[in-house]
Amino acid sequence: MGMKNHLKMSFPSLGENVGIARITAASFAAQLDLTLNEIEDIKVAISEAVSNAVIHGYAQTSGQVEVTMNLYEDKLEFIIVDHGHGIADIDQARQPAYSSDPERMGLGFVFMESFMDQLEIESAVGQGTKVRLVKNFVANSSH
């Protein structure tokens, strides 16, 4: 399936930039004939993924977060990369109640999984984390 559009953004790991990534993802998704609910799902998933990078990936340090958005004929793909601390145990991190930060609910990955059609996590301690989110849709031939 050919790529129809793509966008790549890179920004410092500041909390303020989570909202910018979220709005950009919503605008990118709005190229499609999606429902408001579907766009809301994407916004929540992107917020969670970018927040994770900012809060957990870089914790007390700071660095760049990269968000790549790809539009294919049948799916939207979002890739969120940080070069921060990494996740020691991805299976554990995917559990609903788990959080490395007791102040947070730890539902990030569970939310991402429920709002998107596909969630892939690659991580190496000390090297960072890559989260890939995919939203499938039925290509509408009338466009």
Task: Return d(Cα 92, Cα 99) in angstroms, integer.
Answer: 9
Q: Residue 27: CA atoms inside 13 Å, Cβ hemisphere, count? A: 8
The angle at the Cα of 120, spanning 119 to 126, to the nearest 5 degrees, equals: 135
Say whether 104 is catalytic. Answer: yes
Instruction: Please pick, among 48, 70, 77, 132, the residue that the annotation labels catalytic.
Output: 48
- Which of 5, 16, 17, 52 is labelled catalytic? 52
Q: Is residue 136 among the annotated active site residues? A: no
CB atoms within 10 A of CB 10: 10
The yes-or-no answer on residue 22 being catalytic is no
Catalytic residue among 5, 73, 104, 120: 104
CA distance 82 to 108: 16
What residues are annotated to the active site?
48, 52, 104
